[in-house]
Amino acid sequence: MQKLKPLDYKENYTDLIPEDSFRISPSMISKFSDKKWEWYQSQVLGNNTFEGSTSTVLGTIIHRIAEVCTKFKTNEEREVLRTEIPNYIESFSNNPEIDIAHIKEQYKPMGNALLDYLNIWGYPDRSEEAIAYKVCDGVYAAGTADAVIGNTLIDYKTTSNQSVSEYYMPQNYKVQLLTYAWIYRKLGVDIQNIRIIWITNNIVGRVSEKTGKPLKDYPSKVIPVTQVITNDDMEFIESYLKLIAETYLKAKECPELTYLLFSDYRLKGELCHQ
């Protein structure tokens, strides 16, 4: 029987990358362009004060359901979910930012919708796998990929948007998936496609405040969005990873340039007071 890491386990990748190496997180790559200040504070300085939200907790639970039901095929083996998930939810009972009632209401119908999809289209070959590959000396791209089925990399995303397009893949998610695909290819795994599997919130049983009449139900559903990886995609992501790595290393080599490299004048002030 396979072993599961605790639901609240935080992967540190110490078994995959050398000590004192810098890790580029696939899920944070888009912020290197969009919000360099936040990227630097979080990824380089470790000043990440985000403790989760209702959506991230719900997303973690749905990922866990997918992982357990991929790795374990019998109902007896899957029984771990019956106690693990409620205990995990209750661990946030003192966090006012987490809507526990909403999570309890949503995770079962959303999880069932995902399992119905997997039962029809097939379970992944790999699930929640930590992977890493060297970008350059001292810098590695490393993260935990949701799943792989055949030559397709999968990422599960929960959403409250009931009109998710079956054709649209947000750029920040695409960059994240391309990074995982790049790592897998470097490790010898032939990834040719990337796929987001959207799982929508279960919106049912509502009543209009104005009329008192029932509103239309929107049961949880699964919407897969798949794109073929092109040569341009791989050239882009490799060059972008190298750009991030060399920017980080240059700031380490020349701290006085940090504010220029990360496009934030406040960093100059911080360095002056160090």
Residue spans of the domains in the chain: they are: 34-272
Tokens of 110: 């959303």
Residue pair 193/226 in contact (Cβ under 8 Å)? The answer is yes
CATH of 34-272, one of 3.40.50, 3.90.320, 3.30.420, 3.90.1150: 3.90.320
For 211-226, the pLDDT digits (tens) are 999 999 999 999 999 9
Give me the phi and psi of 114, to 5 degrees please: -65, -40
Q: Which of 22-31, 79-88, 184-193, 204-213 has the lowest mean pLDDT?
A: 204-213
Tokens of 88: 């995990």
pTM of the model: 0.93
- Asked if the model's pLDDT at residue 182 lies above 80, the reply is yes
Please list the alpha-helical segments (H only) found in the chain.
Answer: 29-34, 36-39, 54-71, 75-78, 80-90, 100-121, 171-186, 231-253, 258-261, 266-272
The residue with greater pLDDT, 49 or 14, is 14
* Helix, strand or coil, per DSSP, at residue 236: helix
The predicted pLDDT at position 269 comes to 67
Q: Are 13 and 23 in contact (CB under 8 A)?
A: yes
pLDDT at residue 272 is higher than 50: no
Mean pLDDT value across the chain: 93
Of the pLDDT bands very low, low, confident and very high (cuts 50, 70, 90), residue 250 is very high
> Residues 90-107: pLDDT tens digits?
999 999 999 999 999 999
| Per-residue model confidence (pLDDT) at position 271 | 52
pLDDT in the model for residue 166: 85
Structural contact between residues 198 and 159, judged by C-beta atoms closer than 8 angstroms: yes
pLDDT tens digits, 123-177: 999 999 999 999 999 999 999 999 999 999 999 999 998 888 888 899 999 999 9
